[in-house]
Structure 1
Amino acid sequence: MRGLDEAKVSEVIVRSYMNAFLDALSIDVAVIGAGPSGMTAAYYLAKRGVKTAIFERHIHVGGGMPGGGMMFPRIVIEEDAREITEEFEIHIEDFGDGYLVADAVEAVAMLCAKCLKSGARIFNMISVEDVVFRDGRICGVVLNWSAAERAKIHVDPLVVRSDVVIDATGHDAEICRIVERKISASLRTDTGGVIGERSMWAEMGEKALIENTREIFPGLVVAGMAANAVAGSPRMGAVFGGMFLSGKKAAEIAYDIVTRR
């Protein structure tokens, strides 16, 4: 094996990452959160030629999906989402009566691989601390290193501009809460704000999720568990069919917005 120069190793890592990051400073869609709905949305957008990047605060992708139900790494997917799981080549077991089961780790791996192969980029270990607001709409996100956030070090952020932002941050609905708090904006909910998720009711939560996936504020689309949290709908536990369907719907909404601008 040819000798390695440690400084050269550092150089190529920095150059490669900086090239990707510079290219992502102006994009069509910024997806916040690399969970199932976020990666699904990014996949369908990039597949249609939309310049898309995901920003994920954790070192890993997949959101809460890898843990399955109470650390049994299996997830349930309804028949309605079978076509999407097949597109992602996720192996499923059919337990009858509409209950499909997938290995949670495999599902995350296949989602991530397909998402990246479609042309979307994933930037992990980056948090969103604010949004860019112009002319009554969201048009970008304000980023910082997750490590700086956790260490509570004051470091000024950097900005990525985008035509659309998708809040796929899960239960916390972080981007919608930022908009509610810092812009004093009225979201498209019954109260005008983030209502907060309700207790477990898997069937109702799954049904509500697709309806709740929408442009919640000009330039801001909400997807996945964040959509139910914003609208005040129930949580679903380790049932993920709705997450895939929500991600696909969010991509369709974002695509329509991008192509209209």
Structure 2
Amino acid sequence: MPLDERIITKAIIDRYFEKIRGILNLDAAIVGAGPAGLVAGYCLASAGKKVAVFERKLSVGGGMWGGGMLFNEIVVQEEACHVLEELGVSTRLYQEGYYTADAVETASTLTSRCVKAGAPIFNALSVEDVVMRPEGIVGLVVNWTAVNMAGLHVDPLAIRARAVIDATGHDTEVVSVVQKKVPGRLKTPSGSLEGEKSMWSDEAERLTLENTRDVFPGLFVAGMAANATFGGPRMGPIFGGMLLSGKKVAELVFAYLESLPKESS
């Protein structure tokens, strides 16, 4: 049978529209497809929640792909190995307390498991605003990353979500929007975005997990975005805290969703 370019094009359009129509009303919207966001998506979808992940870049996986300075290996501490093992990623003991994993295997496996669990990933989509009501954040405002890069005046579209997770890493994209729109209202010591501090791996890994929490009604932070929001340091190419943060934020969001009134069908 000869291939017809019109059918190829129609198949892509129909399937994408089907996919995006299915996520216009979510339990949880995750912004950022790095390690914390992917683990959170996998955990929440596996628990039966309706989830989608939005990534402004064309590639997903965050900083994992490059390992440390393009040496594509990552380090995780022992207490985080079980997260990788659950998802099917191989780890190797380097010395007591330090395990390594192939960065490409880790990023690709987390991505695959997240999608297969039922959390689709929409890449090249940027979050430029939130949907807000008196009770808090109830959704996201999205546009094509290419539109923003080109500086085009194109109105965005909105997606509803009962909870939003900012897992955008150093950039804290969603938290930054909230701070700009309602200054002084974040649940940080100063009420504002505290900002990322210089590298201190041990302290950063501890604080990544401690700072994983809600920061505004309907908004949670995870991974490096949690540290940057609450003023913790960066950690470099060790990813255990981010993996554990993704699992923790999924548990927090699940409990939050269960506490909300049931939506009428």
Q: Same fold (TM over 0.5)?
A: yes
Q: Give the drift of 1:183.
A: 2.1
Q: Distance in 2 between matches of 1:184 and 1:47?
A: 35
Partner of 1:251: 250
Partner of 1:91: 90
Counterpart mapping for 1:1-261 below 5 A: 2-261=1-260
Q: Distance in 2 between matches of 1:152 and 1:216?
A: 30
1:92-139, Cα deviation, whole Å (9 max, x unpaired) = 110121100001010001101110111111000100000011123111
Question: Does the Cα contact within 8 Å between 2:76 and 2:238 map onto a contact in 1?
Answer: yes
Q: Distance in 1 between matches of 2:62 and 2:192?
A: 24
Percentage identity across paired residues of the two chains: 48
1:153-175, Cα deviation, whole Å (9 max, x unpaired) = 01000000000000000001110
CA RMSD of aligned residues (A): 0.7
Q: Give the drift of 1:184.
A: 2.3
Q: Distance in 2 between matches of 1:58 and 1:68?
A: 18
Detail structure 1 runs of 4+ shifted over 2 Å in the superposition. Answer: none
Q: Distance in 2 between matches of 1:134 and 1:171?
A: 27
Q: Distance in 2 between matches of 1:179 and 1:154?
A: 22
Question: Does the Cα contact within 8 Å between 2:74 and 2:103 map onto a contact in 1?
Answer: yes
Q: Distance in 2 between matches of 1:149 and 1:64?
A: 22
Q: Distance in 2 between matches of 1:98 and 1:82?
A: 10
Q: Distance in 1 between matches of 2:36 and 2:191?
A: 24
- SS in structure 2 at match of 1:67: coil
Residues matched between the structures, number: 260
In the superposition, the TM-score normalised over structure 2's length comes to 0.97
Question: Does the Cα contact within 8 Å between 2:78 and 2:98 map onto a contact in 1?
Answer: yes
Amino acid at match of 1:173: T
Q: Distance in 2 between matches of 1:247 and 1:130?
A: 23
In the superposition, the TM-score normalised over structure 1's length comes to 0.98
Q: Distance in 1 between matches of 2:251 and 2:217?
A: 15
Question: Does the Cα contact within 8 Å between 2:184 and 2:190 map onto a contact in 1?
Answer: no
Q: Give the drift of 1:45.
A: 0.0
